[in-house]
Amino acid sequence: MTVKDLAYAPTLDADQHPTLYHYCSTSTFLSIIQRKCLWLSDVNTMNDFGEVHWAYDRFIEAANAVLDQVGRDFVELVDEVISTSRLRLLPMLCAFSTDGDVLSQWRAYADDGSGVAIGFDAKKVGTLSIRIAPIEYSREKQVEHFRTWLLAAHEVHTDVPEKEKKKFLFEMGTFFSMDMAFYKNPAFSEEKEVRILRALDARVNDQGQWTLTDNGGSGERVSKKKLPVHFRAARNGGVVSYIELPLSGLGAEAITEIVVGPKSSNSGNEISMALNAAGFRNVRISAVHCHI
């Protein structure tokens, strides 16, 4: 069993959910199709301000449940490794939904219903140099995943040669800390969220300053290249880090549908013209059924 085998790594069934919808304002939609990229932003800026801590709390629940089986020393060791990994790796995320007409999504992400939901081909998105997975909302399943993972990790760790334990623990902590980004509070289950994730290296340089670096990936040829890290101002006056993930390698049919928001003044013709001008083909334009 390898470190990757121990990772939760939920998988998206693209046959069951062939379209992934990204809710956004009209201006963001135009930026995406014209620049042919998606913004992946710091996990700490997501809509659920407690989500960074939610998964960790479920880990603690699971750890307490298996404490007698794996021992306090192992749990504390794993806890330390996870904490170190979360300092050294910063998950950058972009959110989608498997549903193109969700009232809360329109209100929160699509300019209160005046924007659109961009429907991407799920299989094509899955080829990008990212990690993609549906969100697990069930608290019981989250705890059970962590419980099973801890038991398996303890068994493997016991058999790892002493000189390789440090490397094993570091790799394990890296995957484990990334897995935590795919757990959310069940209060958000209506969103039916699917996330794409790419991790940046966070380091302190010789001058004692924090730096963020993208090291590239191993997926689709364009998106796997090392990407520059950008920063933008947040509404609350903060600074948000993000990367622009290129979509140009996915071809002219990466977008399959545009759902026009319930408060949008667009008839669909303008959107169709913008898509064609940007080089996207065979995109279906549809209207929503919910009302705001």
Q: Assess contact for 208 and 200: CB atoms under 8 A.
A: no
The dihedral region occupied by 223, where left means phi > 0, alpha psi between -120 and 50, and beta the remainder, is: alpha
- Residue 48: its pLDDT value, please? 58
Q: Assess contact for 255 and 248: CB atoms under 8 A.
A: no
Q: Which two tokens stand for residue 42?
A: 């710091």
Q: Which two tokens stand for residue 13?
A: 């069934």
H-helix or E-strand spanning residue 77: helix 72-88
Reference 175, options 156, 193, 203; nearest CA is 156
Q: Assess contact for 143 and 58: CB atoms under 8 A.
A: yes
- Residue 5: its pLDDT value, please? 57
Map tokens 């399943």 to a residue: 141
H-helix or E-strand spanning residue 260: strand 255-260
Furthest C-alpha separation in the chain: 66
Q: Which pTM does this prediction carry?
A: 0.92
Alpha helices, H only, 206-290: 269-278
- DSSP E strand stretches across the chain: 19-24, 37-42, 89-97, 116-121, 131-134, 193-204, 210-213, 230-233, 239-246, 255-260, 284-287
pLDDT in 10s for each residue of the chain, 292 residues: 555 555 555 688 999 999 999 999 999 999 999 999 999 999 877 655 567 789 999 999 999 999 999 999 999 988 998 888 888 889 999 999 999 999 999 999 999 999 999 999 999 999 999 999 999 999 999 999 899 889 988 988 888 898 888 888 888 877 888 888 999 999 999 999 999 999 999 988 888 898 999 999 988 999 999 999 999 998 778 899 999 999 999 999 999 999 999 999 888 899 999 999 999 999 999 988 666 6
State the burial class of residue 81 (Cβ atoms within 10 Å of its Cβ: 0-12, 13-18, 19+): buried
- Residue 289: its pLDDT value, please? 63
